[in-house]
Structure 1
Amino acid sequence: MKAPQRKRPQGQLRQGQLITTFGPGAMTDLPERSVLIAGLEDWVGERELISEPRLSAKIANLLKIPSVRLETPPSAGDIEDQRITGVRAYRFPEWFVTQDAPGKGQDESRRSRYLVHVRALARGNAFIHPETRKRLSVVPVRFVRACRLGHIGDIDWYFFLHGNENTCRNQGRLLYLDERGTSGDLSEIWIRCSCGKAERSMAQIALQKAEVFGRCDGARPWLGPAMKEKCDEMNRLLVRTASNAYFPQRMSVISLPERVETVREAVSAVWDFLETAEDEGDVARERRKAKVKEALEGVSDAEVWAEIQVRRAPSQVQEKSVKYAELETLISANEELGEDRPEGVFYARALPQKEWDKPWLKGIEKVILVQRLREVMALVGFTRFEAAAPDTDGELDMGVRRADLARNVTWVPAVENRGEGIFLLFRRKAIEDWLAKPSVIERAVQLRRGFDAWKAEHSSSSRKFGGPAYIMLHSFAHLMITTIALECGYPASSIRERIYAIPEIGYGVLLYTGSSDSEGTLGGLIEVGRRIADTIHNALELGALCSNDPVCSQHLPENPHARSFLLGAACHGCLLVAETSCEQQNDLLDRSLVVRTVQGADSEFFHELPN
């Protein structure tokens, strides 16, 4: 029996794009059609298992399922392979607009085109003109309906024009999309019926949001034609190519050294014996007990004592957040952390203080060059209209209603990136003293007022105010990203940040780059790290003056006219970077907390300005 022919793919996407941009439920334009990426049940082909127990446990808890696997999206496979592989997609939307050119003498600024359903198309996806019988090419209409919970569907254009009156629908009256202008603005786009009695401007949607499209029917077409669920949201207009059409919810962790995990598990097994230890001598004395000796076999007293020190915080009785576990590992690095081997997941070395000790770096305690790291990133869901990013602790909000990736989730798509980085550990005492300054407290109040104003407009959001320490570290990281990109050879969009502002154990900034291949480990960041004092010198100079000053430095977050409620002294001229680099979508920034600006608010952390 002859094997079935492999279906030719209709388009191509990189595996990483299926995590970051075009996951299940996302709309994309292929060369010949517009589609909706299907759910995970329709991702067929070989997938590689990614081992990262910490991330798997977090996602299983988030999705309220017993366990979940992390697997790579299926590869395209060999074109000669007869097996069907890849990611399936559904045609969406099912309404089209004809592409006939204006007739002779017709004003090009006032075009009228047919608005037709897929059932009215002939073979070859063309519409037959009812009078001339000419074949007219079509393109998908750019307007669909969706709700905040991710449900999506075609607009019922007959209902849009006639409401519940179905006469024109039953008679199959033709519909037209008129462009009465050249700007493409909604006020210039009209939908009308060939009956001559009904026409409506798309701009009316902005005035009658609740009445135009009716209540959402809970449609989830990416999971299958009949996959609906109950929904009480109102439908909203969604432009297919708009930036708010799809917000993937991703969760990522930095893989910790195997040695650190081994030490942690050993100490946990005999924590009842070790929790009162006051030094390495106490650890040695406890080791004389048979149970302790057995559990700590192969682990030195110094390693045990270092693990005990990071457990002193009261919050340890609770499950550690993603960033908590990462920060305590980075803090524990003395001279060396991890193993320097090609297949290793983490290796870091501390830069001797004599190589970077400068007056403007009094607030920094340790510089660690992460020569090898592994980041695992997984897609767990998505939203529309409003993004729901990880909070300042790296955790996704349990209360956010996210759209499902599959009818029954047993695995989620993930990728692992290899890279390098620079970790800067700030002195806790320096930050605590800085937070106690009246000028910093006053600035924090102003930033909080801006956040409260934003919250009033986004009452459904569970986002939390990061606090002045987080905002300072976040703003400093953005200045560093811009500065490093000029020196290390990586584009700024490929350098990412992780901000650690955890009062119980410490404060730090990790700047790293990662790629699924060797491009993430070219060594540029490590070389910049060796001259970190000069790099920070340049970053502080960059932040002191913005091309938009004094407007930028004098901005008040609560200003209702500027509507930059989550920004202090921050704009595209100084702090804003590519959103692929930022963990907060370019929010919660204020360079006046980092360095003195022309406003002179005396709220900066770095007092010793470089000469």
Structure 2
Amino acid sequence: MTPPPSRRRRGTDGSPVPARTLPRRGAVRRAQAITTYGVGSLVAVEQESFIVTGIDGAEAQWSRDEAPVIHEPRLARVLGVRRFRLPPASGDGSRDGIRVRRFPLWHHCPECHALDHVRRFNSPPGRNECAECSETLVPSRFVMACEDGHIADFPYWKWLHRGRRGDGEAGFCGGRMSLRSSGRTSSLRSVVLSCSCGVPDVSMEGSFRRGALKDLKIRCEGKRPWLRDAPDVPCSQPPRTLQRGSSSVWQPVLRSALSIPPWSDTRVQALAGHWDELRACSTPAEIEIHLKYIFDGAPSPMSARQVMDMLAAMEAEDPIGEDHGSDVDRERRYRALRDVEYERLCAGNPEDSGRHTEQFVCEPPTGDTTSLSGLGLVAPMLVKKLQEVRALKAFTRIIDPETSSEGHEAELSLAPTDWLPAMEVHGEGVFLRLDEDRIDAWAEHPGVAARVEHMRRRHQRVLTERASDPGRVPLSPATPRMVLLHTLAHVMINEWSLDSGYPAASLRERVYSGDEMAGVLVYTATSDSAGSLGGLVAQGEVDRLVPAVRSAIHRAEWCSADPLCVETEASGVGGTNMAACHACVMLPETSCEHNNGLLDRALLVGTPEDPSIGFFSRLLAP
């Protein structure tokens, strides 16, 4: 996770050169550096707390052997970068690591209860303890953050003095603050602040109220401690009090893409970094000349005709007539990327025993698929081999990434970079499709339209409230087709977690919903060899799929929270769900790409009052 211990490096002449003395603090997995402990997140190591620094300068700091380059041209073009880098390992055997800084800076001593900046405790060199009582210091439990991603230490002095200023240095009273816990209860009322200047003691009760800091005229100062030498920026967002270990402190904004033909051929990596020059070519002859230059006269692993096909595929995912630098255009291109993935999943890519460079193998099952028509399903596809690249684009604080606008995304670096941290996921999956004609007929049901419209309005209100620019509020994706597919994916993940050998947290959804799309890909979400054990693909065979779908629908018919669950009109964050809770269809956060929002179990099985609104209600008939 953090810089390595001091070591000796060799100079250009082979002589040893002393290295910087950088202490190592803990370790995290590479996947965690993207999904859990990415740039701007807080990491607790024993009794210390750190914030992961930005990627400024990381291109030179990370060695290529420990942080290799990841190539995914489709996703790179959408995100406006040239390449991706896998974060370096941080184990005992690694030579490098991810840089961190101490945060929060306010600590307190559990022995003498002193509360102050860590530097004022006069700790011995290399140790984090109180100089007076030799007790290990405890980082502040509370931090202050805003929706624009800024974060700072909690303003203890202002909270305690409540606007009463003394005559001390810089307007402060000059006293020594302390923090105690009465131990009477576990609530914030038992956490008491006091000061030697004699002001009345104040508890932390009420500090987490949405307008608590704003009422005391405490403003966000625009601090970005994860970026080195970053100046404070003007910020109009009201600050909020958060627990240091809360998931609201940091949430990643991830973008992912499947490696599909022709990009899934590993030979394409030999052309990485040369696509801009190749796109300028208009004929196979020009491409042939460039290939000779790229490989210095050696034979190219791909022919000029194959390169032309890849350039054509690249143009198909690039909408024309938009500003390529705008956020709106990038979202359009990201949706176009998903459209092409859907087409490839439907078409398949058979396994070729004579070629071992393919990272995408998708085939139909071998059994008779006619029995699926009674379930409303089209013939599934077995994705026996897939590769997904997940890139950390930015991060958010307080708000969910799915309900945020571009203005709320905090940057990973102070200066623009041509790369982003990312990870590769190798695994397997099952691609399910629903009969579009049956979906269209079902979506015309007045009860279905009313429920989805109720969810859409609530979701749109959340998007409007959290948008930084009222003129660029994203539209809610809630449609009958989308909510149905999303809920179906959740119940199938829960069902397959019982039979496939994978826990629900190791499975992930990828919903394809649109005017001409009605499918969902359930695939393994692990980044190691456990992602390709074959247990999930086996569930896609017809003889197993039919009973699995029936079992999943029957399980969704009842919830341990019924009748409250099925009768609720709003649940989840912002009320964007209806009949959905953690006892029935909600999944671990790693499995859902919509943060457990826009779910309604009633659209699968119906309600006791109106069973006909359930798309699969006929499966429940006695």
- For the residue of structure 2 that corresponds to 1:529, the secondary structure is coil
Shift of 1:388: 1.5
Question: Does 2:527 align with 1:516?
Answer: yes
For residue 57 of structure 1, what is the amino acid of its counterpart? R
- Matches of residues 91-490 of structure 1 in structure 2 within 5 Å? 91-100=102-111, 113-121=113-121, 122-123=123-124, 124-129=127-132, 134-162=133-161, 163=163, 165-168=165-168, 172-205=174-207, 206=209, 208-212=212-216, 214-258=218-262, 319=333, 321-333=336-348, 336-337=349-350, 339=352, 341-352=355-366, 354-355=368-369, 357-358=371-372, 360-361=374-375, 363-389=376-402, 399-408=406-415, 409-451=417-459, 454=462, 458=466, 462=474, 464-490=476-502
SS in 1 for 2:566: coil
Question: 1: CA distance between counterparts of 2:138 and 2:42?
Answer: 15
Q: Distance in 1 between matches of 2:574 and 2:443?
A: 24
Q: Which whole-Å CA distance do the structure 2 matches of 1:8 and 1:126 have between them?
A: 17
TM-score, length-scaled by structure 2: 0.79
RMSD of equivalent CA atoms: 3.4
Q: Residue 606 of structure 1: which of 606, 616, 619 is its match? A: 616
In structure 2, do the counterparts of structure 1 residues 85 and 297 end up closer, same or farther at CA, with 3 Å as the change threshold?
closer
Task: Give unmatched runs, 5+ long, in structure 1.
Answer: 61-66, 102-112, 271-293, 392-396
Q: Which amino acid aligns with 2:524?
A: T
Q: Which amino acid aligns with 1:91?
A: R
Matched residue type, 2:528: D
Question: What amino acid maps onto 2:576 in structure 1?
Answer: L
Equivalent residue for 2:568, pick from 548, 555, 562 = 555
> 2:407, 2:467 within 8 Å by CA — same for their partners in 1?
no
The residue type paired with residue 72 of structure 2 is E
Kindly provide the amino acid, as one letter, of the partner of residue 125 in structure 1.
Answer: N
Moved more, 337-346 or 224-233: 337-346
2:384·2:429 contact (CA, 8 Å) conserved in 1? yes
Which of 28, 49, 72 is the aligned partner of 1:52? 72
In the other structure, the counterpart of 1:107 is none
* Compared CA separation, residues 386 and 563, structure 1 to 2 (3 A): closer
Separation in 2 of the partners of 1:366 and 1:27?
Answer: 46
Matched residue, 1:499: 511
SS of aligned partner of 2:594: coil
Q: Distance in 1 between matches of 2:606 and 2:485?
A: 15
- 1:579 aligned to which of 589, 592, 601: 589
Cα distance change of structure 1 residues 86 and 550 upon mapping to structure 2, 3 Å threshold = same
Q: Does 1:594 align with 2:598?
A: no
SS at match of 1:86: coil
The change in CA–CA distance for 1:592 and 1:572 in structure 2 (over 3 A counts) is same
Structure 1 contact 594–605 (Cα < 8 Å) conserved? yes
Quote the offset at 1:332 in angstroms: 2.3
Q: CA deviation at 1:249?
A: 0.6
Q: Distance in 1 between matches of 2:306 and 2:26?
A: 55
> Are residues 563 and 12 of structure 1, via their aligned partners in 2, closer, same or farther at CA, if it must alter by over 3 Å?
closer
- String of CA shifts for 1:424-470, please: whole Å, max 9, x gaps: 12222111111122232233233335435655765657461421110
Aligned counterpart for 2:86 among listed residues 43, 49, 72: 72
Aligned to 2:289: none
Q: Residue 40 of structure 1: SS of its match in structure 2? A: coil
How has the CA–CA distance of structure 1 residues 360 and 595 changed in structure 2, closer, same or farther, with 3 Å as cutoff?
farther
Distance 2:39 2:164 in 1: 33
Q: 1:568 to 1:526 in 2, by over 3 A?
A: same
Cα distance between partner residues in 2 of 1:315 and 1:331: 28
3-state SS of the aligned residue for 1:126?
Answer: coil
Conserved? CA contact 1:55–1:253, under 8 Å? yes
* Residue aligned with 2:236, SS: coil
* Residue 552 of structure 1: how far off its partner (Å): 1.4
**Pairwise CA distance, 1:164:** 7.0
Q: Which residue in 2 is equivalent to 1:283?
A: none
**Offset of residue 259 of structure 1:** 7.6
Assess if the C-alpha contact under 8 Å between 2:165 and 2:173 holds in 1.
Answer: no
Verify the 8 A CA contact 1:126 1:137 in the aligned structure 2. Answer: yes
Bigger shift: 201-210 or 414-423? 201-210
Identity of aligned residues (%): 31
Return the offset for 1:243.
Answer: 1.6
Letter in 1 for 2:489: A
Cα distance in 1 for residues equivalent to 2:97 and 2:215 = 40
Report how far residue 540 of structure 1 moved: 1.1
TM-score when normalising by structure 1: 0.80
Q: Deviation digits for residues 219-265 of structure 1, max 9, x if unmatched?
A: 11111145332322232212111121101111001111228999xx9
Distance 1:416 1:260, change over 3 A: closer
Contact 1:19 1:413 in 2 (8 A): yes
Q: Is the 8 A contact 2:459 2:574 kept in 1?
A: no
Q: Which amino acid aligns with 2:17?
A: A
Kindly tell me the number of residue pairs found equivalent between the two proteins: 539
d(CA) in 2 for partners of 1:203 and 1:468?
43
For structure 2, the residue ranges without an aligned partner over 5 or more in a row are: 1-14, 268-277, 284-303, 323-328
CA distance in 2, matches of 1:145, 1:203: 15
User: What residue number does 2:274 align with?
Assistant: none
Q: Give distance in 2, aligned partners of 1:21 and 1:583.
A: 15
- Aligned AA (1:22): Y
Structure 1 pair 314–425 and aligned structure 2 pair: CA distance change class (3 A): farther
Distance in 2 between the 1:314 and 1:441 partners? 34
